[in-house]
Structures are given as structure tokens and as C-alpha cells.
Amino acid sequence: MIKLNILRLMYNYAPMNFYNIGDGETVIKAMNNTSDGYKFPKEFTSDELHQIWHQIKIHKRISSVCICLLFIYALYEMIFPQFAILVNNNWYINALIVIFVMIIVSQIITFISTKIFEKRIKNRFGEYERKKFSPPENIDRKYYRLFKMELVKVLVLVIVLMCGFAFISPFSIAQKLLNDHRYNDVVRYTTVWAKIFPIAQEWYSMRGYANYKLGNMQDAINDFEQAYEFGADGFNMTNFDNKIFIKYEIKDYDGAIKDFNKAIKKAKNRDEKDKFLWDKAQFLYNTERYEEALTIYNKLIDRAENDREYLLKDRLYFERAQTYKQLGMDKEADEDMINSGIAPEEIMDYIIPKPMLIIESLDETEFTE
């Protein structure tokens, strides 16, 4: 009984419940599904109601298609190309603006379609008077069955889509291709999906890894850069590190330093900035630019004195000690080793890490040095 009442309540607001006949008049529900209606001074026959329903279906579908095309155009021509900017700069304001514009344009499309519909029923059935539309007490069984059929179609479509994404995930397929080392197929597959849903960073990350394996270094750099631009969360930090790794591999050290400087400048907070600074210091050390690395280590150790949780002083002292050694400053290096508290037999556990490639799969994380 509850289920039937819910269906009837939904039917009252559905397009199928489009007319009310009685007292020698017929009120047709307005096209925009508001409480407005068009009152005609006669009772329509079943054939006339069928003609009106046919017109309603045509105009509803035209409006829906136009709004859908508008949404696709806005998505692929405005939102997706500018996604990084929209998300990283006052995203809530940008989202409100986009939603507001979409609503306004959708209303304009609906308004135009409604006016055309009104003109057609006026030409076919004569003059009408605007009146409040009240749902009829007696439900038309024909259109009520049609409503339930349409509702079942929607529910089946939703279930099919949910099952499809649950059991046949496009990301899982791409990951399987990666696990099977089918890198050319990964590039082709992720390229197609990057066109369909271009803001999913996983497509670019997986394609970047595949391009690296294929020796397409610049393409890999571009892919990891694109993935990183979608926002600096944990996964995107991996994309940044992968881009730095490839530039380290091809000895584009200056390009990597520019990337570090850009990331440091755009850091959202002090901890994020310190993370990039520390990575930059390690990169400078591994590229034998010891003087520049020492300058950064000095800054980081000064900050670590203020009980900063992220900056681990023992590691920083150890890494600065290694930098001092490379510069021939043995006294300073010995002092830092004492301050680090690291025993000689533990030194091998505290090596300064070199850049490495990381691919985060569904099951595990793979490192490529």
C-alpha cells in the first residue's frame, strides 16, 4: 500500500499526468511541469488527448536533447579544458557561476519549447485560458501504466550502469593492461578514455607510466604534468615525483628545478612548501649541486627547531652532514652526524633517496629506480 501511494504521488508530478477533464472543460498541464495549465471550454476525446500527449513527448524530447547537448558542450568546451583553474581557484564560486548559467540557459530552452507547444495546441484546439492545474482524482490507467513502464526503464538503466562500473571498471581494465605489460594498448585505451572523461587523473598517470616504458619520455612528462595539475592531493604528488624522475633520467636538471620552484611558489601551506623544499634539496644533492642543497638544508633545519612535525631533524642533520662531506667540510659533517643521533651502523638506513618512478596500482605500489 505504501509503495502504491508513493507511485501515485510521483505520478501526480510526472509528465504522463497531463490532463484533467470535468464540468465541460479540459485543463492541459503546462509543458514546464509547473502547477499552471491551459483550460479549454470542452471535454477532449481520447484521440484528442492522444494527440496532445504526442505533442508533449515531442517537445519534451527536443528540450531534453537540447539541454543535454548544451551540457555536453559546456562540459567539453568550458569545464573540462579549464578544470584545473576552476577547481584550484575558488572552486565553489566557479561552480555556482557554472550552475547558474546552465540553469538560466536551460530555462530559456524550456521557455522556447513551451511557447512552440502552446502555439501548436492553440492552432489545433482553439483559444485557451490559463488556469491552475490540479491533478485529477481518478488516475488514467493507460497513462499510469505508461508511467510505471518509464519508471522501470529508468531503474533498469541505473542498475545496469551501476553493475557495469562495479564489475567492468575502465580503470581496472587499464590496470590489467599495465600489469600485462601491454604498454601500447595502455596508451591507446587511456587516450580514448581521456577524451571521454578528461579530468580523471588516472588516465594520464597510467599513460605516462606506459609512455615511459615505451621510451616516449616527453609524452610521459606531459602526462604526469597533466595528472598533477588536477590538484595536489596525495596521488597527484606521486605524479609530480614521477615527472621529476623522468627529467632526472634524461638529465633535464634545470627543467626539474623550475618545476620545484613553481610548486614551491604555488604551495597551499607551510608543510606543503617544506615538502617540496626537502625534495628539491635531495634532488640538488643527487645532481651534485651541493652548495644549493646546503642552503635549503640550513633553512629546513632552522624551521625544524620549532617542533615541526613534518621536518624530522635527525634525517635533516644526516642529509646535511652528507652534503658537508661532499663539500669537504668534515668538521661540520661530524657535528651534524652527532646531532642526528644516528649510529654508524645505521647509516645505510638513512641514505638520501634518489628520484624514482612510482605507479600506484589497485593492488600494490611498484617502484622503478
Spatial neighbors of 301 by CB under 8 A, at least 6 apart, are 311, 313, 316, 317, 320
Q: CA 60, CA 32: separation in Å to the nearest integer?
A: 9
99, burial (CB in 10 Å: exposed 0-12, middle 13-18, buried 19+): exposed
Mean pLDDT value across residues 229-236: 62
The CATH homologous superfamily to which domain 170-368 belongs is Tetratricopeptide repeat domain (1.25.40.10)
Mean pLDDT value across residues 148-164: 88
Whether the pLDDT of residue 9 is over 70: the answer is yes
- Going by pLDDT thresholds of 50, 70 and 90, the confidence category of residue 304 is confident
- Comparing 134-138, 140-144, 228-232, 275-279, the range with the smallest average pLDDT is 228-232
Whether the pLDDT of residue 138 is over 90: the answer is no
Of residues 319 and 5, more confidence is placed in 319
Q: CA 355, CA 357: separation in Å to the nearest integer?
A: 7
Whether the pLDDT of residue 277 is over 80: the answer is yes
The domains of the chain are located at: 18-134, 170-368
Percent of the chain whose predicted confidence (pLDDT) is above 70: 92
Q: CA 329, CA 299: separation in Å to the nearest integer?
A: 18
pTM over 0.75: no
Q: What local confidence, expressed as pLDDT, does residue 270 receive?
A: 85
C-alpha separations of 75 from 67, 69, 80, 231 in Å: 12, 10, 6, 18
C-alpha separations of 46 from 12, 36, 51, 56, 286 in Å: 20, 22, 9, 15, 84
Which residue, chain included where needed, has cell 578514455?
A: 193
Mean pLDDT value across residues 160-164: 82
CB contact at 8 A, 31 and 59: yes
Mapped onto helix, strand or coil, the DSSP state of residue 126 is coil
- Comparing 39-53, 214-228, 332-346, the range with the smallest average pLDDT is 332-346
Q: What local confidence, expressed as pLDDT, does residue 305 receive?
A: 72
